[in-house]
Structure 1
Amino acid sequence: MRAIETSLTAMLTLALVSGAHAAEQERYIVKFKAGKGPSEMGQLKAQGGKLALELANHDAAAFLLPAQALKGLANNPNVEYVELDAKRYPLSQTVPYGIPMVQANLVSDSKASNTTVCIIDSGYDLNHEDLANNHVTGTNDSGTGNWYTDENHHGTHVAGTIAALNNGTGVVGVNPNGNLNLHIIKVFNADGWGYSSSLVAALDKCEAAGAKVINMSLGGALKSRTEDSAFAAAEGRGVLSIAAAGNDGNTRHSYPASYNSVVSVAAIDSNKVVASFSQKTSQVELAGPGVGVLSSVPMGTALVASTAVDARAYESIGLAGSPTGTASGTLADCGTGESTCNANGQICLIQRGVISFAEKVQACERGGGVAAILYNNVAGPLNGTLGDVQTSIPSVGVSDTDGQAMLGQLGTLASVSIGEGNYAYFDGTSMATPHVAGVAALVWSHYPQCSNLQIRAALRTTAQDLGVAGRDDAYGYGLVQAKAAVDYLAANGCGGAGGGGGGCKGRNCK
């Protein structure tokens, strides 16, 4: 009995507040005690309920119920539980915002079989539904395991941005038609780090595999003379190396991105504003989408979230480390979650700030909350992690504007659902880098006669200028643009409008 009353609390609140007419539009699944379905369904019909679907094999039925009928179920000993009949939507392929932003959708990758991109990262899920049919090879690196597995998830996400397939499933990459050649070098172990010597060895393996473009969504604060020399020599042999500028949000250099022979990539958001975490240095050369980037992760490892309040769906992101599951209840305002929230059977709405996400979720749990919705205190979606803290309720993040909208819906029925998936949103200059590497390969495939320096120069010249006019330390020369670069080379040839090559970087290029 107590379980039935608890599960009905949220639904009754919505029905009684909104009135019978509004409640009649809500559809619920009623689970009956064994053998009690036929008689109880008759009673519900007599009370104004409308049978939508009978599930006889499950002793259940879907009903459109008015408030009075819904209330009566709380005292019905022949009913096990009542739940909102959750809506399901067709799943289809999504084009991440970064793909049109870098103009990849405007350039054909039909010629990309003449180009190989080497991804030095944490591996590649060869069984992924959006990656399995690519032209991909790899080389095992000592101590990190097979190149075709990815315990860290990072490399598979990077690979998806470069080459996720246009197959009606998941997402698409910059080169989406399976023509581009990929070579994978796994330098990260499950703990997510490697050595500079391993990076140099990986560079050699990339060259041996015929790679023209190298993607390195990695870096560190210490410079290495051996690395610097190796990348300079590779540039002299025609390789275009591209690396992440760093995620510390300061003006310190990160390596290998800050070697003159490597293109340093900054991260911007969907509004083309530099990310707060993106490092700003004299070596930043190009920018790419790096905030809330949707791409592939190893199969079944992503958290797929859905959130609704008062029958309105909101975009949400499962907090990393959250358990899977579904919960519903009335929405309760728990402020910033700094103390136990009295939310028995309810869903906690909590603002970001002051304490960790995990502590906020724990405050909801202690008060009997069944799920937590954390909303941002700055512009944009909240994409966070619970770290190593174990929680038992599903928790999601939403944007600042959606959180404010939910504050106007307190006391109404809310639901949170988190399940397993194959795609996830990541932030970082690591996510911006494959946009640039993918574009470099795409453009170069149309003009294979051009040198690496000439392709580099074309990408700089045609980048969309952002921030202050001209090159700056936040955006470099600007947002990489595939179609603009292809058109530029078509009009001016490999030598460019000025007749000169590329490769210039640093103070003398400003």
Structure 2
Amino acid sequence: MNKKWLITWNTVCTLILLLSILIPSTGAFASDRHLSDEYIDIIVRYLDEVPDEEDLDPDFKNVRTMTLMPVQLMTVPASSIKDISQMENVRRVTYDQEMTTTQSGQNEFIYSDDWNQDMIGTFDAWEEGYTGENIRVAVLDTGFYNHEEITYAGGYSIFGEDHTEGPDSWDNDHDGHGTHVSSIIGAHQYTRAQGVAPGVDLFGVKIYHSAEGNRTNASSLMEGLQWAIENDMDIITISSGYPSHSEDIYEMIQQASRNGIMIVAASGNMTENKTEIDFPAAYEEVIAVSSVDQNQHHVEDSMIAEQNELAAPGRSILGLNNQPGDYTTMSGTSQATPHVAGIAALLMQKYPNETAGQIRARMIQKARDLGQDGRDELYGYGLVHFLEEVVPEPEPVEEDEETPEETPDDSLEENGEEPQEPVDEDDSASDETEDLQTPDDVTEEAPDNEEPQEDTDGEDAESDDEDDQVEDSEPDDTEEEEDQAPLQTTVWIRPSDTNGIATIDDDDILAVADSGVLAISFDSTLNHIQNVSLTSDQIDLIRERNITLLIARLDMEWVIPAGNFQAGNAFLSFESLDTPMEYSEVAKSDLIDFSIEQDGEMITAFPEEMAYRFFTDEPELNQDSLYQWNAAQEEWVLSGETYTNGGVVANTASVGTFAVFNPNELASAILSGSEDSEPEDVEDLLPDEETTLEEEDETDSSDTTSSSFGQSDGELPVVLVGAVVILTSVGGGFYFFGGKSKQ
């Protein structure tokens, strides 16, 4: 037996063993590779100039350019997200969220047609001559049927001829939700479902496409808000919500607020899987509305949140349906919200010189305090009402101290109306308490309203029983709508180059939802940057909000869970090594050294695994693997052989130097190195006389295979098979490497 024959035999054995182990692993992850025909909806925020839509990739669909912000909305292949984020003029890329209406039920019965109007002082406003005349109100919803008992001043649909789902006119209410909500505000006076402010100029803005039912993208709200701002609305009402903060939508909300527009939004309906207030109601610029029933009790599925500001009727509310001459009753914070918008319109007409902020302060002052004294999580400041409430003197002082923007007293004094208003409204309130015939007096002037009242005879006596029935049935409807939990929010940003070190803004972190992912993306112009610096405050934000970091370069991605950071500033390093290491000449990638330094101290032990993904030329086809350098043993150790989205992935709770090798090429390099170091005397490689050829072959094969993977004798098969089993159970791939697929 000669030396050449031994080397050949060892190489063949190694190859057979590798193929027997690695081929099953390849099949296990074949389904995890990205499918190029999957499209997702994104929001792209630019630094300044927005590119022309015709200059974008023709594969990008449904591109819409905002006029008030440097933002484009689009539907793109998931594989293009990283490339878009690396464009020099792109500030960040966020995945669009799903937004739904906040209706919790539809009922076949009503208590009486006007109980909700009576509860909030609508008829008192009408007696004073206020119906919301000349107040421009935009309702952002599912569509608006041209029912004969409501008149729209105009409308707009964000779904034009070029939309991927096709055009969808604003007056096509495929769901009925938008028609019902708008009728609570502006249905004709003295009709059965008369609105709170029937004199308003009502505009319907369709942001839900008929193809999607009562679900739409949160970015659709941006388009609706933009239209309302550009068309000088006084009030915007939103009976919809989405689960997580969006910096781009929030900036549009702020723009509307700066333009003096009042925004009213539903706080949402609770389910077992949903216990936090919806956005945009959670923003301080927005009046968040909760729901009460006919007895002024908190509706059990109305969202409980500290941001709640006002409560309004939201249980079994009569309104117009999307059929000729038809009515329906619906429940939810969706129905409570337009009551608040209607009262705001009445007060804006009464006090035409006051700002939206001053009207908001008036509404807080006039609210009927329910539940705990002052503002609480169920009712906010209380039930919305047109009239001033007679309360003991200490209570208005407490409410004034809690007013978020300005005290109601200040706003009243500015207009010189404080001395007169309490006299008129207190008298009206007293009349309302002593004589409940005021609504009837109004309806007697309109014979058309008598018939609907006859339809509801006898129902008041059954209202309590029916109320219980609704409580039992409505949450089930909501739970069906909440079956699919929203995906975690991922925000892609391009970092700033600060003296050769990447830095990010605090706003970039704030743009990410809790438990979301912040992807810091480096394009080819940032190849010289191999470090990211984070301040201690930024680390605190990341830890408090459980934000995962994704360092994304053209050749690799590094995922760091929030739990791996300690308090203090952090310095993340991912440097490509220029100094050769053992067998680096056969590496398929750069040798990249990863490290995390906090407050000047290198961190080496981490509580959670991090993910490393390297991109090379067809790694799965070539059966390449990711290795980590073991400094103690001075050898490359197999770290990962999972293939996802064109890369090879390793998961480990350590940092260090990583590189991609082909196992066969690495084994050959190791054998070549061993050959160079062996003695020239071939007899030294031969076995002892008592050793059989079969035993010698088995030993050589085992030794060669172990050294190829940096393992001790005999351990390789167990370790590799164990890794394949574990990775197969995980399933491969990461949620943050893609977005929500369009179905």
**Which has the larger displacement, 107-116 or 476-485?**
107-116
Alignment equivalent of 1:276, drawn from 292, 300, 303: 300
SS in 2 for 1:294: strand
Shift of 1:135: 4.5
Q: Is the CA contact (8 Å cut-off) linking 1:117 and 1:212 kept in structure 2?
A: yes
Amino acid paired to 2:143:
G
Alignment equivalent of 1:235, drawn from 230, 246, 257: 257
Q: Distance in 1 between matches of 2:216 and 2:283?
A: 19
Q: Is the CA contact (8 Å cut-off) linking 1:125 and 1:150 kept in structure 2?
A: yes
Shift of 1:204: 1.1
Alignment equivalent of 2:363, drawn from 437, 441, 459: 459
Alignment equivalent of 1:165, drawn from 183, 188, 211: 188
Shift of 1:136: 1.9
Could you report, residue by residue, the CA deviation over 1:392-416 in whole angstroms, capped at 9, with x for unpaired residues?
A: xxxxxxxxxxxxxxxxxxxxxxxxx
**2:47 matched to which residue of 1?**
none
Could you report, residue by residue, the CA deviation over 1:334-355 in whole angstroms, capped at 9, with x for unpaired residues?
A: xxxxxxxxxxxxxxxxxxxxxx
**1:434 matched to which residue of 2?**
338
Alignment of 1:361-376 (within 5 A): none
Q: Distance in 1 between matches of 2:344 and 2:184?
A: 13
Alignment equivalent of 2:380, drawn from 451, 476, 480: 476
Q: Distance in 2 between matches of 1:298 and 1:269?
A: 24
**2:158 matched to which residue of 1?**
141
Q: Is the CA contact (8 Å cut-off) linking 1:120 and 1:185 kept in structure 2?
A: yes
**2:647 matched to which residue of 1?**
none
**1:194 matched to which residue of 2?**
216
Shift of 1:480: 0.3
Shift of 1:180: 1.0
Amino acid paired to 1:454:
Q
Could you report, residue by residue, the CA deviation over 1:259-288 in whole angstroms, capped at 9, with x for unpaired residues?
A: 111110000000001111101111100001
Of Structure 1 and Structure 2, the greater helix share is in: 2
Shift of 1:433: 0.2
SS in 1 for 2:139: strand
Could you report, residue by residue, the CA deviation over 1:320-341 in whole angstroms, capped at 9, with x for unpaired residues?
A: xxxxxxxxxxxxxxxxxxxxxx
Q: Is the CA contact (8 Å cut-off) linking 1:152 and 1:189 kept in structure 2?
A: no
Amino acid paired to 2:279:
Y
**Are 1:498 and 2:409 counterparts?**
yes
**Are 1:107 and 2:125 counterparts?**
yes
Distance 1:98 1:225, change over 3 A: same
**Are 1:259 and 2:247 counterparts?**
no
SS in 2 for 1:146: coil
Distance 1:111 1:290, change over 3 A: closer
**1:119 matched to which residue of 2?**
139
Q: Distance in 1 between matches of 2:277 and 2:406?
A: 30
Alignment of 1:3-402 (within 5 A): 95-108=113-126, 110=130, 112-126=132-146, 128-131=147-150, 134-142=151-159, 143=163, 145-167=168-190, 169-176=191-198, 179-190=199-210, 191-249=213-271, 251-300=275-324
SS in 1 for 2:357: helix
Q: Distance in 1 between matches of 2:375 and 2:407?
A: 18
Distance 1:460 1:218, change over 3 A: same
TM-score relative to the length of structure 1: 0.52
SS in 1 for 2:145: coil
Shift of 1:149: 2.0
Q: Which runs of 5+ in 2 are unaligned?
A: 1-111, 390-395, 413-743
Q: Distance in 1 between matches of 2:114 and 2:158?
A: 31
Q: Is the CA contact (8 Å cut-off) linking 1:158 and 1:434 kept in structure 2?
A: yes
- Coordinate RMSD, CA, aligned: 2.6
**1:69 matched to which residue of 2?**
none
Distance 1:297 1:103, change over 3 A: same
Q: Distance in 1 between matches of 2:351 and 2:406?
A: 12
Q: Is the CA contact (8 Å cut-off) linking 2:364 and 2:381 kept in structure 1?
A: yes
Q: Is the CA contact (8 Å cut-off) linking 2:179 and 2:321 kept in structure 1?
A: yes
Q: Is the CA contact (8 Å cut-off) linking 1:119 and 1:216 kept in structure 2?
A: yes
Distance 1:496 1:260, change over 3 A: closer
**Where do 4+ consecutive residues of structure 1 move more than 6 Å?**
none
**2:98 matched to which residue of 1?**
none
Percent identity between matched residues is 32
Structure with larger Rg: 2
**Are 1:449 and 2:353 counterparts?**
yes
Q: Distance in 1 between matches of 2:352 and 2:118?
A: 23
Q: Is the CA contact (8 Å cut-off) linking 2:305 and 2:377 kept in structure 1?
A: yes
TM-score relative to the length of structure 2: 0.36
Aligned residues: 279
Distance 1:422 1:470, change over 3 A: same
Distance 1:135 1:186, change over 3 A: closer
Q: Distance in 1 between matches of 2:131 and 2:193?
A: 21
Shift of 1:497: 4.9
Amino acid paired to 1:475:
Y
Could you report, residue by residue, the CA deviation over 1:298-336 in whole angstroms, capped at 9, with x for unpaired residues?
A: 125xxxxxxxxxxxxxxxxxxxxxxxxxxxxxxxxxxxx
Amino acid paired to 1:151:
H
Distance 1:182 1:479, change over 3 A: same
Shift of 1:160: 0.9
Shift of 1:484: 2.5
Q: Is the CA contact (8 Å cut-off) linking 1:111 and 1:446 kept in structure 2?
A: no
Shift of 1:97: 1.5
SS in 2 for 1:130: coil
**2:328 matched to which residue of 1?**
424
Shift of 1:439: 0.7
SS in 1 for 2:257: helix
Q: Which runs of 5+ in 1 are unaligned?
A: 1-93, 301-420, 502-510
Q: Distance in 1 between matches of 2:113 and 2:342?
A: 15
Shift of 1:254: 0.8
Q: Distance in 1 between matches of 2:307 and 2:222?
A: 20
Q: Distance in 2 between matches of 1:294 and 1:229?
A: 35
Q: Is the CA contact (8 Å cut-off) linking 1:123 and 1:147 kept in structure 2?
A: yes
Distance 1:497 1:257, change over 3 A: closer
Could you report, residue by residue, the CA deviation over 1:244-268 in whole angstroms, capped at 9, with x for unpaired residues?
A: 0101256412101101111100000
SS in 1 for 2:174: coil
**Which has the larger displacement, 468-477 or 143-152?**
143-152
Distance 1:423 1:111, change over 3 A: closer
